Amino acid sequence: MSFNNNKGEIPFPYEITPLDPETNTDLLKYFHGERTGFVQVGPEKYFFPWKYKNSAEHFYNFQARPDDIWIATFPRSGTTWTQELIWLIANNLDFKTAKTEYLTKRFPFFEFSNFMHDEVKKELLEDNSDNPEKQQFIEAISEPGYELFAKMTERRFIKTHFPFSLLPPSVMEQQCKVIYIARNPKDVAVSFYHLNRLYRTQGYIGDFEKYWDCFEKGLNPWMPYWSHIKEGWKHRHHSNVLFMFYEDMVKNFPDAIRRVGKFLEKPLNDDQVEQLRNYLDIKNFKNNEAVNGKELREVKVLNDGEAGFVRNGKSDGWQTEYTPELRQRAEEWINKNLKELDIKFPETLV
């Protein structure tokens, strides 16, 4: 894909192609948050809503700063949990601000605007027509990250699900701190399934078996899963990148806290580690209104009757969703891909 380049920006290096019409029509029946269609990007065929077609170059040309801190994950890999950990460590355990200011403001989502279809945004504004403050919040979360972060004068904490190949090159050029979390695909698929049902911007109405079909074929945002993980893994030895497995974090969270502290050049004593461990314990975390999506639910971005934004945090919670047949299919798919990669997950996935 080519762009008119009048600002001296780097041309976007990958081809962006529309999804084939038959598959596109089928997906629109199940994902009601998108109204136009979907595109695939580059040789890995990364999957995005149509809106990305016109914003890709702007995201790619975003100018990172050396003191930016990025969290880059495939969705539902412990992102929110790790965001809060990063923010607290970098801000000297400022629990007071963490409790009173939403994480969506402290640590905004770089590319969320791609998922706010104009028609869905219009519906949300109408749903909140009696409350100007809520409408203002809708406008705020619809602003592209490349515009939002460019205006910030304070240190920037940036959440993204972009794979490394789609990140602005300036992130690595400026040696920004980047923390990448990987999580096993069975848990990711279940958690992302529930998130796709929860968010109106995704609006998924199908069952888990249909969703797994999309997951396996790379037909949901930021997929293919294995391509994303592979790119993160390849960057694990870069001095400005910390690669961690979610399963390791769950198994020994104090150790994970110390690793993040060391990486951010903010060493922690035992008392501080214990404070963070307790504050971020899943029982406390899922009820923390600063991180659990309360503000999104209040403006109706989140659907009622679905699982919460922060679920159970388990590293083996996938088992309840898979039928025996689907489990066998998933195991075969995982084993096939693991044979082709050198990634070693902390525990057996099957």
Digitized pLDDT (tens) for each residue of the chain, 350 residues in all? 333 344 568 899 999 999 999 999 999 999 999 999 999 999 999 999 999 999 999 999 999 999 999 999 999 999 999 999 999 999 999 999 999 999 999 999 999 999 999 999 999 999 999 999 999 999 999 999 999 999 999 999 999 999 999 999 999 999 999 999 999 999 999 999 999 999 999 999 999 999 999 999 999 999 999 999 999 999 999 999 999 999 999 999 999 999 999 999 999 999 999 999 999 998 888 889 999 889 999 999 999 865 554 545 454 555 677 999 999 999 999 999 998 888 878 864 44
Do the Cβ atoms of 298 and 134 come closer than 8 Å?
A: yes
For the chain, what is the domain count? 1
Residue 8 lies in a domain: no
Residue 10 lies in a domain: no
Residue 157 lies in a domain: yes
Residues 6+ apart with CB under 8 A from 5: 11, 57
Rounded to whole angstroms, how far apart are CA atoms 72 and 308?
22
Residue 118 lies in a domain: yes
Q: Which tokens belong to 7?
A: 């600002």
Residue 4 lies in a domain: no
Query: Which letter, b or e, does each residue of 323-340 get, where b requires 16 or more Cβ atoms within 10 Å of its Cβ?
Result: eeeeeebbeebbeebbee
SS3 of 300, please? coil
SS3 of 171, please? helix
Boundaries of domain holding 35: 20-340
Residue 24 lies in a domain: yes
**Considering the entire predicted model, what is its pTM?**
0.93
Residue 121 lies in a domain: yes
Residue 11 lies in a domain: no
Do the Cβ atoms of 172 and 237 come closer than 8 Å?
A: no
Q: What is the DSSP string of 218-283?
A: T-STT--HHHHHHHHHHTTTSTTEEEEEHHHHHHTHHHHHHHHHHHTT----HHHHHHHHHHT-HH
Q: Which tokens belong to 273?
A: 């580690």
CATH assignment at residue 163: 3.40.50.300
- Nearest Cα to Cα of residue 315 among 282, 343, 278, 293: 282
**Residues belonging to the active site:** 161
Q: Residue 322: left (phi > 0), alpha (psi -120 to 50), or beta?
A: beta
Q: Residue 78: left (phi > 0), alpha (psi -120 to 50), or beta?
A: left
